[in-house]
Amino acid sequence: MKTEEQAWRDLQARASAQLRNGFADRVIRVAHGPQDSAWNALRAHASGQLRPSFAERVIRAARAAAEVPSLSSQFALSAATAAVCLAAVVLVQDRNALQNDERNLADWENIVMVAQDYDAMQ
């Protein structure tokens, strides 16, 4: 009967016999990624695909997109924000007032019922 350690050694030997020559080298090469020369070649090829005015157009587009909004648009946004906040405050206040009225009416109904019971007992 084989020990567990012997069984593992046999399994490792069989598995390593199934691998092709150079397997470990290929795995290490893939794990490290491409060499610097490969990256340089890719960059050179990519830069050859771009038109000469590409960088200028990108910078011009980025500057146009980063323009500061006008004073009137900032004021309009501030006014809209203030209006939304005011509407929210009014709605919350109205809801709270309605809940307070309902609670007070319920309390008064209880007081009236207690008073009627008291009058009925006398």
40-92 pLDDT per residue, tens: 998 889 888 888 899 899 999 998 888 778 889 899 999 999 999 999 999 99
Q: How many residues does the chain have?
A: 122
Question: What pLDDT score was predicted for residue 108?
Answer: 95
Closest CA to 32 of 22, 24, 44: 24
Model's pTM, two decimal places?
0.40
Sequence letter at residue 60: R
Structure tokens at 11: 């399994």
For the stretch 87-118, pLDDT in tens is 999 999 999 999 999 999 999 999 999 999 88
